Structure 1
Amino acid sequence: MTTEQQTDGMWTGEWVERRLGVRLPEPSVRELLGLALRRNPRRAQLLVSQVLGKHVPQLPAVVYRTGYDLGLAVRELLGPDAAASAVVLGYAETATGLGHCVADGLGGPDGGAAPYLHSTRRPVAGIEPVGGFEEEHSHATSHLLLPADPGFLGGGGPLVLVDDELSTGTTVLNTIAALHGRFPRTRYVVAALVDLRGEADRERFAKTAADLGVRIEVAAVATGAVELPENVLARGAALVAAEETRQGCAVPPAGPQAPLTRVDPGWPAGLPDGGRHGFTAADRLRLDAALPAMAERVAAAVTAGATTAGTTAAVPRRVLVLGYEELMYAPLRLAGALQERLGADSEVRFSTTTRSPALTVDDPGYALRTRLSFPAHDAPADGDGLRYAYNVAPGRDLSRRFETIVLVIDDAADRPPLHAPGRGLLDRLRHVTDEVLLVTVPALRPRPAAAAAAPASVSKAAVSKAAAGAALPPALHGPAFGSYRAEEVSWLLKDLSGITLEAPVEEREEAIQQGGAHYAESLPVEYQPSAEYQQLFQQALSEYAGRIAEAVAVVTETVLAERGHGVVLASLARAGTPVGILMRRWAQHAHGLELPHYAVSIVRGRGIDPVALRYLADRHHAADVVFVDGWTGKGAITRELAEALAGTGFNPEMAVLADPAHCVRTFGTREDFLIPSACLNSTVSGLVSRTVLREGLIGPDDFHGAKYYRELADGDVSNQFLDAVTECFPDVRASAAADTSDREPDWSGWAAMERISEEYGINSVNLVKPGVGETTRVLLRRVPWRVLVRRGAEAELGHVRLLAEQRGVPVEVVDNLPYSCVGLIHPQYTRGATGDEGTAV
């Protein structure tokens, strides 16, 4: 076994053994364990495993093989038939990866795996634990069991409980007591690296088994005892205090700061990141299949970093893959695959961060030689004390230094404290290595019972087919559909490009207002801008690109601060789509994030596309989805979205670039200024039409539809708009920050529309279109009656005046208008009015 247990001929427990008198006499136990001192009133000593991959960086093959062989031993103990029905339960945080490896070994040599669940200290809103128990001696004592399937631990087969050490067995007995009443079974097996129980503890095991009428058996790699001196707790506390006084205050690592690179591993959609909510044999097969490609992506970043650093070798000699607390198995397997990919010229080691505070002593005879401390960044426990990474910094022995550190976390832990300057884990790592790679995997988030309910707008046919596992249609991507790059947006739409849906504006308006048709059943003839109007667009883009960039930065930073770095953007097609792309670009520019981005349809009066919701819920946690739009008019779509998402598990709070209506909490600005993407239709929206929902074209398992106007490619400025705003990102980065001001909506825009409707005798707020964006859409697609312009805002509304002149619409300059301008629909069509046309420009 290759370990770092022997250093300069010394056992890494010698320091504690000499000073405190704690002894591990059995050679087999001393081979597996070192010793350190805890800062814990319940237990003085910390038994530091050399093969677990927690506190001591170890070869991933050693870590995996140790757990796998333990699983084989359990399989032999149970026999093949009983092993086939066994379920494995691991303990957070230390043994989560070990339990995975045991489950793999228990599955046998043919590549199977036993079902696996580990306890967790991370609660999930809406998910009720199926059990919980206490670990009295631990630094963090409470454990939760949160399987996505509440019946995961049922079935009656053997339950295999996995921990790194079996000291007294109290935690195991607490677990059995907590679970046996709900999930009774006849056989329990405890698997541990070391069994250190005394005779009294073994008698408690026998008594518990007899009282419950069950078998409780133990399988361990090594068995022995810990010899403790008298008054060990007091003596240990005094020794810790004396050593900390001798060392003085810890000094943060100094020196240059290594570059940080974010690497997208290409984690398979829907694959659990570990056993927190359950992990099956099928999940293991998916992970095995995906590992080579993921390791290739990380290896490419490692070798690129080595080239940049000017090293003579093709790759750094020592690479550390650092997992995060409970996330052990995924980074362990990635470390193993990375070692295979990098080959013999490099040595890959694996360890993880921990909650456990312990004394560090930079001595070859002490197990924990260095410590990096950093604030907790694991939501929802941000601010919950400090976390630690041991033996990552080299200390005095520079031969232990890692040239590259690959930090692997889940997206729930990719939060602001991780990136905190001077204090966060990333900053601490960047001072002890040559390069840091950040790899984020999506955390599985099981849906609460309420989220499993179908949206109110889903038809009965759609519900029944969804329950039966009806296939979902594929997303559309450019260049086959739309002029945006494939990675920038996935269109959850049905391609209707070959169908004639257009009608003259006047015909559509009369049919809509007379109640004979819904606006989403047809399309207006695409407006073809004149040369003069196109020039106005270019002028507006030049003038307002920086202002838009700042609003994009603010709304994106606000979303990330509120919802974390694991958000999924879902733009409301089509006006929201360019905003969603810009938000995605800002997250990439400022944080190195690759946010998933979709475009979905919402239709006023008919709700959001239910098939698109099913698609999103199938691939992501509903609570992570943020719906994005361009701007608010009077708030009709805000209300529509809230009604459509009630009871679905999706968050109805929309993020918009501009909120002049004061009806949302998350926005980039509340100013009503010209957003150039409001000036045009499809030619600034990826050449995609607004969305269509018409019986006969859209079935119960279809997305809402839209057309791709390939024939308008010569006039397409979609990417020009995006690039012009993106070029301004560096100029606004210094001032970009989440909006922490009072953002509560007051719906003052809606109140103003009611006043205007009454004042002009329209008697329907649906025919009042407030704001620059809405007024522009009225002039392009409806039959406007007149345009109201706020006195003093005329200079910014050249395109509105030009369109009004071309359509013969009078412009009236007024005082006390809360918007820059307002468009009014002709009042002769008030009967049966259906309102505005969704979110498409």
Structure 2
Amino acid sequence: MWPGEWVARRLGVRPEGEGLRDLLGLALRRNPKRAHLLVSTVLGKHVPQRPSVVRDSGVRLGRRVRELLGEDGAARSTVVGFAETATALGHCVADGMGGVPFLHSTRRRGTGVEPVGRFEEEHSHATSHLLLPEDPALLGTDGPLVLVDDELSTGRTVRNTLAALHAVHPRERYVVVALVDLRGAAEVEELEKFAAGLGARLDVLALASGTVRLPDDVLERGRELVAACGPEAGAAPERAGAPAPARRVATGWPAGLPDGGRHGFHPRHARRLDAVLPGMAAQLLDALDRPADTNTDGAGGPHRVLVLGTEELMYAPLRLACELERQTAAPAGPSAPAAPSLEVRFSTTTRSPVLALDDPGYAIRSALTFPAHDLAPAPDGTPPAPEQRYAYNIAGQGFDTIVVVTDSAADTPQLHAPGGLLDRLGHCAPQVLLTVLPTRVPRQRRGADRLPQPLRGPAFSSYAPDDVAWLLQDLSDVDLEAPTEEREEAIQAGGAHYAESLPVEYQPDEEYQRLFRAALDGSAERLALAVGTVTETVLAERGPRPVLASLARAGTPVGILMRRWARRMHGLDLPHYAVSIVRGRGLDPTALRYLAAHHDPADVVFVDGWTGKGAITRELADALAAHPEHRGFVPDPAVLADPGSCVRTRGTREDFLIPSACLNSTVSGLVSRTVLRADLVGPDDFHGAKFYRELAGSDVSRDFLDAVCARFDAVREQAVRDAEALTALPEAERAPTWEGWRAVERISDAYGIGDINLVKPGVGETTRVLLRRVPWRILARRGSGADLDHVRLLAQQRGVPVEETDDLPYTCVGLVHPRYTRGATGADGKAAHR
């Protein structure tokens, strides 16, 4: 039976149009402004539905929008969905358009973001909508704006929305998208005239169109019907006994990934979500307590699971439900089982009060009523007035497990209280799981800037929380690694920047680990002396309380050691941050804004591990000089070792083995090299990096720090003397000579390389060539001793020749293979082989 027949017979409301009955049922509202409710069967709001059906409805509409606008028009578009019903629908439309920025309106207040627009949905139970993009520029583009709602009835809400948006930022084209378009001829004409008055083109797309015929006295008749049914109509049937207690399940939602489109959701966010969904769904599957091939009624068949979103939070739960459905679908093939292991359905809670009746010709068969659990106090701290929320068609449906997905702002005592949502659901299914996504907290403004917050260990990195604050975003769940040869070819061919991907983390064998330990034992005191010298120099010249900003990641262990020296020797607790700098792209501008917002830029000291030819030193100076707002920062980095003579402030100019150069993340807090890619890093984001938690068993980051710190007391007096001697030097003797840069140019010419970026001087950079790049050959200064043992071992493992030479200011130089650009020839003119 059509789930609208009961209302149609008694109220005289009938939708007329091809396909409408396949998409809609009917129910009665408990709302004096409108008698009937059009209940979508594919929206995932009031009627539990297969998640793939819900998602496909929006994606199909998005593809039609892309066809209408063309590829260029679609790519320049922004999609806005209406709360609460069209939050997931609008998001799916954006996905179907190929991935475009998305925002949905919201009724949740107290988010700390000033609205850029507000409008009224006059017939709704909750009328006011706010537009709260974290970045107001999201609605400031000149491309088409796509508005998405579940149904288009009179067009009044669309007009209110267009008026509000057009007043803020006029544009030439709008598209309105809905599951069903039910306007009559008069409403169609009225919306067309309205758009013409704006001077804009307006297109409307829907899966089905038609009209709903209403009797003149529909409101009065509707009120009478609701009153006749009584307040207890559709009361949810409950399971006998105590309610099933809800059990929390952590799904590993990535830090920094928005939980939805309330403040904006960009294509880079969509790609991160796609990457982590399989693992999140797998964790949910592991948490299900399901007897094999038996549902809760004791009958054979799939385990029935309902994934229940909460009000505006629809898209993330929908995507989780889709992935559960995909992972447990029946495999294809003649020998495959006949049925899936899980039967997954999706729906969400709602604000809308609807009459429930257990009748096959009525769309809302049962109702759960519970207190709202996401209300924020008023700005003055006054508790919010109580409100009711609803969940429909759940009780009595034979679900074995209900998975509630909410956000942390809605994970309140009201959610868990007797009579709250979890308690009510515990009477509907024997198993209730709760997964909580971190609520997107909009970045706070400082002037015109929006600033993210730093990351700290142990959530990000294996360093202690007070060792370093990482001005980075966590991309741990994004697949960024590529084989070394593949990366090298793309970089040298000009098709990719080295910061757009990561090398596969090199894991040294036992012999190399022993070499690292031996090198650390042999150089710890020399390292401690260099740390003490550079720290004492900084305190003397940039004190009394400098702010350390180490250049991630080679500079980070050095910055931690400098901070520990200042604390042990002087009782100073110096702020320490790690910031990203990328050759050819400069310093992370968002990190600079953060530093400037929290500290005097003149107090900030940039810290690095060592210098090679000085490329990063020049990059730092160029980046600060290029932007007037950054001129308060001092472009004079402090480094542990300066064999290239590129800086004024250093611990030493010896080119010796700094053991932290031997390893990658396992000596750097398990953090990757930094990443800068346009689809992952927005204009207000920190640069990205990964935290390799899975390598914890090989981590020696704290061992390295502890070994050097253990030598501090032994070298204290010498470090003070060396720092005093350095600061007493005439400026001509302190100033960089750039001897290393000139040597690199000579080597580049002598070996016919042409690109000085392929020449990596010094022990540290040579080590990184052998670990990360495709090495061609190693040049070693004749007579170099134990400092090069690890270089020779790595070169032997990778089949790279080591050439002894006398004319070298460094202990060694690594040459990256230039074969990808020129079919490289060496100094002897012979072609290099792949």
TM-score for the superposition, normalised by structure 1: 0.54
AA of the residue aligned to 2:159: L
Match of 1:182 in 2: 168
Taking the aligned partners of 1:24 and 1:199, their CA distance within structure 2 comes to 15
**1:101 and 2:92 aligned:** yes
Match of 2:357 in 1: 361
The equivalences for 1:642-657 within 5 A come to none
Instruction: Tell whether the 8 Å contact from 2:294 to 2:300 is kept in structure 1 after alignment.
Output: no
Using a 3 Å threshold, how does the CA distance of structure 1 residues 262 and 238 change in structure 2: closer, same or farther? same
**1:438 and 2:429 aligned:** no
Question: Which among 228, 253, 266 is matched to residue 242 of structure 1?
Answer: 228
Taking the aligned partners of 1:707 and 1:67, their CA distance within structure 2 comes to 53
Cα deviation for residue 204 of structure 1 reads 1.1
Cα deviation for residue 394 of structure 1 reads 3.2
Cα deviation for residue 263 of structure 1 reads 1.1
**1:415 and 2:378 aligned:** no
Question: Which among 88, 104, 109 is matched to residue 123 of structure 1?
Answer: 109
AA of the residue aligned to 1:74: V
Match of 2:627 in 1: none
Cα deviation for residue 189 of structure 1 reads 0.8
Instruction: Tell whether the 8 Å contact from 1:379 to 1:415 is kept in structure 2 after alignment.
Output: no
Cα deviation for residue 268 of structure 1 reads 1.6
Cα deviation for residue 81 of structure 1 reads 2.4
Cα deviation for residue 120 of structure 1 reads 0.8
Using a 3 Å threshold, how does the CA distance of structure 1 residues 426 and 362 change in structure 2: closer, same or farther? same
Question: Which among 65, 77, 81 is matched to residue 86 of structure 1?
Answer: 77
Cα deviation for residue 140 of structure 1 reads 0.9
After superposition, the C-alpha distances for 1:566-614 in whole angstroms (9 at most, x for unaligned) are: xxxxxxx9xxxxxxxxxxxxxxxxxxxxxxxxxx99x9876755669x9
Match of 1:485 in 2: none
Question: Which among 36, 39, 48 is matched to residue 57 of structure 1?
Answer: 48
**1:406 and 2:424 aligned:** no
Match of 2:137 in 1: 151
Using a 3 Å threshold, how does the CA distance of structure 1 residues 161 and 480 change in structure 2: closer, same or farther? closer
AA of the residue aligned to 1:102: V
The equivalences for 1:239-638 within 5 A come to 239-244=225-230, 247=233, 254-303=240-289, 317-343=303-329, 344-380=340-376, 383-395=384-396, 400-420=397-417, 422-450=418-446, 475=457, 492=468, 609=576
Taking the aligned partners of 1:519 and 1:82, their CA distance within structure 2 comes to 53
Using a 3 Å threshold, how does the CA distance of structure 1 residues 329 and 476 change in structure 2: closer, same or farther? closer
AA of the residue aligned to 2:182: L
Instruction: Tell whether the 8 Å contact from 1:190 to 1:219 is kept in structure 2 after alignment.
Output: yes
Using a 3 Å threshold, how does the CA distance of structure 1 residues 39 and 191 change in structure 2: closer, same or farther? same
Taking the aligned partners of 1:473 and 1:206, their CA distance within structure 2 comes to 50
Match of 1:824 in 2: none
TM-score for the superposition, normalised by structure 2: 0.55
Taking the aligned partners of 1:356 and 1:434, their CA distance within structure 2 comes to 27
Question: Which among 196, 204, 221 is matched to residue 210 of structure 1?
Answer: 196
Taking the aligned partners of 1:645 and 1:414, their CA distance within structure 2 comes to 35
Cα deviation for residue 518 of structure 1 reads 8.9
Taking the aligned partners of 2:20 and 2:67, their CA distance within structure 1 comes to 22
Instruction: Tell whether the 8 Å contact from 1:376 to 1:383 is kept in structure 2 after alignment.
Output: no
Please list every run of 5 or more consecutive structure 1 residues that lacks an aligned counterpart in the other structure: 1-9, 108-112, 456-465, 483-488, 504-516, 522-572, 574-599, 619-642, 647-694, 712-841
Identity over the aligned pairs, expressed in percent? 53
AA of the residue aligned to 1:377: H
Using a 3 Å threshold, how does the CA distance of structure 1 residues 125 and 48 change in structure 2: closer, same or farther? closer
Taking the aligned partners of 2:112 and 2:36, their CA distance within structure 1 comes to 38
AA of the residue aligned to 1:33: L
Cα deviation for residue 265 of structure 1 reads 0.9
Using a 3 Å threshold, how does the CA distance of structure 1 residues 168 and 645 change in structure 2: closer, same or farther? farther
Taking the aligned partners of 1:499 and 1:374, their CA distance within structure 2 comes to 66
After superposition, the C-alpha distances for 1:25-80 in whole angstroms (9 at most, x for unaligned) are: 33411110001111111101011000000000000110011110011111122222
Taking the aligned partners of 1:518 and 1:645, their CA distance within structure 2 comes to 14
Instruction: Tell whether the 8 Å contact from 2:63 to 2:97 is kept in structure 1 after alignment.
Output: yes
Using a 3 Å threshold, how does the CA distance of structure 1 residues 310 and 39 change in structure 2: closer, same or farther? closer
Please list every run of 5 or more consecutive structure 2 residues that lacks an aligned counterpart in the other structure: 330-339, 378-382, 471-519, 530-542, 548-559, 561-566, 582-587, 589-596, 601-648, 652-667, 670-700, 708-834
SS at 1:351's partner residue?
strand
Using a 3 Å threshold, how does the CA distance of structure 1 residues 322 and 93 change in structure 2: closer, same or farther? same
Using a 3 Å threshold, how does the CA distance of structure 1 residues 348 and 389 change in structure 2: closer, same or farther? farther
After superposition, the C-alpha distances for 1:256-288 in whole angstroms (9 at most, x for unaligned) are: 322422111111221111111111122111111
Match of 1:46 in 2: 37
After superposition, the C-alpha distances for 1:70-96 in whole angstroms (9 at most, x for unaligned) are: 111111222222222111110000000
SS at 1:407's partner residue?
strand
**1:69 and 2:60 aligned:** yes
How many residue pairs align between the two structures? 518
SS at 1:181's partner residue?
helix
Cα deviation for residue 386 of structure 1 reads 3.7
Using a 3 Å threshold, how does the CA distance of structure 1 residues 45 and 473 change in structure 2: closer, same or farther? closer
Cα deviation for residue 247 of structure 1 reads 3.9
Taking the aligned partners of 1:250 and 1:324, their CA distance within structure 2 comes to 19
Taking the aligned partners of 2:11 and 2:445, their CA distance within structure 1 comes to 52
Taking the aligned partners of 2:455 and 2:315, their CA distance within structure 1 comes to 33
Match of 2:657 in 1: none
Instruction: Tell whether the 8 Å contact from 1:409 to 1:440 is kept in structure 2 after alignment.
Output: yes
Using a 3 Å threshold, how does the CA distance of structure 1 residues 402 and 309 change in structure 2: closer, same or farther? closer
After superposition, the C-alpha distances for 1:285-305 in whole angstroms (9 at most, x for unaligned) are: 111111111111111111568
After superposition, the C-alpha distances for 1:171-210 in whole angstroms (9 at most, x for unaligned) are: 1011111111221111111100000111221121121122
Cα deviation for residue 408 of structure 1 reads 0.6
SS at 1:34's partner residue?
strand
Match of 2:28 in 1: 37
Match of 1:804 in 2: none
Question: Which among 128, 136, 139 is matched to residue 122 of structure 2?
Answer: 136
Match of 2:152 in 1: 166
Taking the aligned partners of 2:421 and 2:291, their CA distance within structure 1 comes to 20
SS at 1:11's partner residue?
coil
Taking the aligned partners of 1:65 and 1:419, their CA distance within structure 2 comes to 33
Instruction: Tell whether the 8 Å contact from 1:353 to 1:387 is kept in structure 2 after alignment.
Output: no
Using a 3 Å threshold, how does the CA distance of structure 1 residues 499 and 42 change in structure 2: closer, same or farther? farther
Instruction: Tell whether the 8 Å contact from 1:607 to 1:644 is kept in structure 2 after alignment.
Output: no
Instruction: Tell whether the 8 Å contact from 1:353 to 1:388 is kept in structure 2 after alignment.
Output: yes
AA of the residue aligned to 2:189: E
Taking the aligned partners of 2:450 and 2:116, their CA distance within structure 1 comes to 24
Cα deviation for residue 709 of structure 1 reads 9.2
Cα RMSD over matched residues? 4.8
Taking the aligned partners of 2:5 and 2:347, their CA distance within structure 1 comes to 22
Using a 3 Å threshold, how does the CA distance of structure 1 residues 157 and 604 change in structure 2: closer, same or farther? farther
AA of the residue aligned to 1:410: D
After superposition, the C-alpha distances for 1:390-428 in whole angstroms (9 at most, x for unaligned) are: 334333xxxx211000111111111111111x2111111
